[in-house]
A and B are shown apart, each in its own frame.
Chain A
Amino acid sequence: DSGVTQTPKHLITATGQRVTLRCSPRSGDLSVYWYQQSLDQGLQFLIQYYNGEERAKGNILERFSAQQFPDLHSELNLSSLELGDSALYFCASSVSGGTGGYNEQFFGPGTRLTVL
């Protein structure tokens, strides 16, 4: 158990809908990262928050947004869902957010999103 929790575990929805994925980082970790893992795109970095502020942006679509709350939990909002958004969405957390080894990222179990 990495200490990172994600809810829900599974989510099935229809095209055009909107969903929210939730992540609670490990105790003491200030950075939260979101990743999308799909068969055709592999593991893609979406976005990072550090202590409530956006720190880095990756291949995140405009239909997707995220935020980190004062208690450091984070939510990833996916809207106008398309079939291609079906994927495993991981949240990870780390102490800080730089390149150092102490910033190893601990991953949550993931949320499997299926868009029908």
Chain B
Amino acid sequence: AQKITQTQPGMFVQEKEAVTLDCTYDTSDPSYGLFWYKQPSSGEMIFLIYQGSYDQQNATEGRYSLNFQKARKSANLVISASQLGDSAMYFCAMREGGAGGFKTIFGAGTRLFVKA
């Protein structure tokens, strides 16, 4: 079953504007973590932001913020003031588990193009 869904294969945004990348997840585990990663064309995976299932406030890291709506099971990434260097693939991921071990599941990704 698909546990992480990123419905936007590709997105365009004008430089200096904000953009929201969608992510929905599915889990029955009350304890889980949500992560966003950036993968530039060079291939490396860069950690951006984390949100825990019990966190009351939305996570923020510089220009990145995570719009966490627990009831809707969504964890959208908001990038403010887009820069050309933000052009990359973005992955949403979820870690869940317990005694049997913790597994991290990634979504299919959203390719973001920032236009000058």
Residues of A within 8 A of B (CB): 2, 33, 35, 42-45, 48, 55-58, 88, 90, 92, 97-101, 103-107, 109-110
Residue from the set A43, A98, A107 with the largest chain B CB neighbour count within 10 Å: A43
Q: Which residues on A sit within 8 Å (CB–CB) of B96?
A: 99
Contact yes or no, A107 B45, CB < 8 A: yes
Contact yes or no, B97 A88, CB < 8 A: no
Contact yes or no, B47 A42, CB < 8 A: no
Is residue B103 within 8 Å, beta carbon to beta carbon, of the partner chain?
yes
In the complex, what's the smallest C-beta–C-beta distance from A88 to chain B, in angstroms?
7
- How far, in angstroms, from A44 to B97 measured CA to CA in the complex? 16
* Consensus secondary structure, chain A interface: strand
Q: Which residues on A sit within 8 Å (CB–CB) of B105?
A: 45
**Residue on A nearest B33 in the bound complex, by CB:** A99
- How far, in angstroms, from A101 to B94 measured CA to CA in the complex? 11
Contact yes or no, A57 B33, CB < 8 A: no
Residue from the set A99, A101, A110 with the largest chain B CB neighbour count within 10 Å: A99
